Amino acid sequence: MTTYVLKTLLRHRVRTMLTVSGAAVAMFVYCFVGSVQEGLARLTTGSDADRSLIVFQENRFCPTSSRLPEDYSDKIMDVAGVRQVMPIQVWTNNCRASLDIVVFNGAAPDQIQSSRPVELTAGDWQTFQTRRDAAIVGRNVARRRGLAVGDQFSIGDVSVYVAGVFRSTVPSEENLIYTSLRFLQYTRGLDAAGLVTQHEVLLNEDADPDRVASQIDQVLRAGPVATTTRRKGAFQASTLSDLVDLIGFAHWLGYACVALVLSLVATTTVMSVQDRIKEYAVLQTIGVRPLRALRLVLAESMILCLVGGVTGTLLAGAVLGLGGFAIGAEGATIAFRPSLSLILSGTIVSLLVGIVAGIAPAIQAATVPIVDALRQA
Amino acid sequence: MTLVELNHVSKSFSKGDETITPLDDVSLQIDAGEFVSLMGPSGTGKSTLLNLVSGIDRPDSGTIHVDGTEITGLSRSKLADWRAANLGYIFQTHNLIPVLTAYENVELPTLLLPLSSAQRRDRVQLALEAVGLVDRAEHYPRQLSGGQEQRVGIARAIVAHPKVVVADEPTGSLDTETSQQIQVLLQRLNQELNITLLMVTHDADVAAIASRQLLLDHGRFLESNGAPQSDNNKASLSS
């Protein structure tokens, strides 16, 4: 009976190919939307987002407008529950939402090496620590911009030597370029000697993030610049608030893709069954049970959906993996990265849609009035 | 031994406001190994009777027993199982599955039975040999002539070793020469393999090959010479 199902699908090659292609395209988009949703979730949850704080200038949003004294780090270190403070100078080529945002984070090289979740895949730490204009580049940026170790990379007034390329367990990190703090502070146009954009605070295991954040703002209230301290996840969600709304809306696009596959495969299967209603009557005349006829139709729609859906899902996985795509605003970025859960979700959705799409035509085939159908020309 | 037994079977259809009763209190017995032909003008209930014996249609009243099983009381699924094991159906228009080869078409009914692949292979081979189409086994229906297609249809009908084979105008769509070949084949199947056959036909010459010929007229059986059957249409109608 499997031969029958497969040969039936092959008989109408064009129709099968069009349906499979449609399902593949829709599931490709579904997975792409899913990867954006996952990227946002990763950015705003997880240990990096929950167990570290960002101290930013009060009522400021774009990194270029936040200017905090670098020595705030000493005062922050004195707050109970703080394990480490990393003053960071941020420079970005675009404060607005962009698909090709370049974000430089300037910090002490030894702190970057010890506290950031990065691992060099090319280049070496020594060059990064000793050469003034050295930078280590996240592999997504390197892929997008075609950068390799030894390249000189310039954007705006910033010009760096690529000393290394890194990967990270936190996908959004792979969209950053790290330089030394001093280099970025003295970059022409920034005029930020002694100033930084933000302080990143790592907490002790038992520290309550919200209580520590409040204490930091309290301590710094006496300083020249007031601050707002939030969990890193909340800070990034707030920074990307416009995009978050858009991304939240985009999940409807994902549902629309699923509905598209459903209607496409259901239409094809209904047409296929109606064209062959006499064939199903013949099958039942020779002894095929109605339930088996139902399963034959379900198998057809499931194969169509699975072949198309899995193709689209794998293609999306490959494109996301190779493309290194990211969207960002105001120095924060969301990485689009393929994941096993995304691939599994795409496959399971394809399977379920295949079953649902086949139910109506399957019932039609199973309950066909045999005598009437046999009379058809 | 009686293999097929219809007792007081009636069947009506509604056509608009009109009610048509192609079969009215019909009774019939067919013995094992018999070859019965059923003739009659269009609309007299020949195909309806065939469909009732096949279990693809249900009577309004009366009972049908085949080899001791009352098929009128079976569910749709049970009827399908019963057909797979006990019935072969030869269609007028062959009704082969176009995407399957002749071999695969003949194999189809055996897939519904608890047979090993070797047993299936043997049965398909024997059925194709019986209809003389071993050399066309890998051909698709579109690559076969009308007569060859009908022979594949006959092989499909006998491959499961059914207790009864019904044929609905098996030569109706064939030219004279091919029709004669099919008639010879059906006779051989009945005589050599002792297959019980119930055949519907318009053609008196085709009907003549059967060991018993029945004429159905307005829901009642007549003898082949046109005389009404005795005893209110309940006779056993043995030849």
Question: From B109, which residue of chain A is nearest by alpha-carbon distance?
Answer: A286
Q: Which residues of A20-54 are buried (b: 16+ CB within 10 A; e: fewer)?
A: bebbbbbbbbbbbbbbbbbbbebbbeeebbebbbb
Q: How far apart are CA A240 and CA B139, in angstroms?
A: 65
Contact assessment for residue B11 and residue B48, using Cβ atoms and an 8 Å cutoff: yes
**Interface residue A13 vs chain B (CB under 8 A):** no
Query: What CATH number has the domain bearing residue B45?
Result: 3.40.50.300
- Nearest-by-CA chain A residue for B105: A4
**B2 part of a folded domain:** no
Q: Compute how many other C-beta atoms are within 10 angstroms of the C-beta atom of residue B35.
A: 23
Residue B237 has pLDDT above 60, yes or no: no
User: Residues B149-196: pLDDT tens digits?
Assistant: 999 999 999 999 898 999 998 888 778 888 888 888 888 888 888 889
How far separated are the first and last CA of chain B, in Å rounded? 14
CB of B20 within 8 Å of a chain A CB? The answer is no
The candidate with the shortest Cα–Cα distance to A108, out of A128, A83, A80, is A128
pLDDT band, very low/low/confident/very high, at A47 (cuts 50, 70, 90): low
Contact A371 B100 (CB under 8 A): no
Tell me whether residues A282 and B76 touch, CB distance under 8 A.
no
Residues found in chain A: 377
How far apart (Å, rounded) are the C-alpha atoms in residues B222 and B235? 10
Q: Report the alpha-carbon distance of residue B142 to residue B139 in Å, rounded.
A: 8
Summarize the confidence of residues B50-68 as an average pLDDT: 92
Q: Identify whether B74 is part of a domain.
A: no
**Cα A254 from Cα A29, distance rounded (Å):** 7
Domain presence at residue B65:
no
Q: 3-class SS at B85?
A: helix
Give the mean pLDDT of chain A: 88
3-state DSSP assignment of residue B104? helix
Q: Which residues in chain B touch residue A4, judged by CB atoms under 8 angstroms apart?
A: 97, 99-100, 104, 108
> What is the spatial distance between Cα B55 and Cα B65, in angstroms, rounded to a whole number?
10
pLDDT confidence bin for A128, thresholds 50/70/90: very high
The confidence band for B90, taking pLDDT boundaries of 50, 70 and 90, is very high
> Who among B51, B97, B111 is closest to A279 (CB)?
B97
Domain boundaries, chain A: 2-43+242-375, 59-225
Chain B residues touching residue A369 (CB < 8 angstroms):
none
Q: Is the CB of residue B105 less than 8 Å away from at least one CB of chain A? A: no
Does residue A259 carry a pLDDT above 80?
Answer: yes
Q: Residue B221 is part of which domain span?
A: 33-57+85-227
Which of 51-110 (A) contact B at CB < 8 A? none
Ordered DSSP codes for A248-260 = HHHHHHHHHHHHH
In a domain, B10, yes or no: no
The pLDDT of B38-57, averaged and rounded, is 88
Report yes or no on B234 lying in a domain. no
List of E strands, chain B = 2-15, 18-31, 35-39, 61-66, 69-70, 87-90, 164-168, 196-200, 212-217, 220-223
- What mean pLDDT do residues B34-45 have? 86
Query: How many whole angstroms separate alpha carbon B219 and alpha carbon B207?
Result: 19
pLDDT confidence tier of residue B223, bands split at 50, 70 and 90:
low
Q: Looking at the predicted complex, does its ipTM rise above 0.85?
A: yes
Residue B212 placed within a domain: yes
Question: Does the model's pTM come out above 0.80?
Answer: no
State the pairing for strand pair A158-168/A134-138: parallel
pLDDT at res. B185: 85
Cβ count within 10 A of residue B134: 15
Provide the pLDDT confidence category of residue B238 given band limits of 50, 70 and 90: very low
- Which whole number is the average pLDDT over B202-218? 87
Round to whole Å and give the CA distance between A200 and A51: 11
Strands (E), A273-331: 326-329
The answer as to whether B90 is a domain residue is yes
Q: Could you give the number of structural domains in chain B?
A: 1
B79: distance to nearest CA of chain A, Å?
8
* Minimum-distance CB partner of B89 among A278, A286, A291: A286
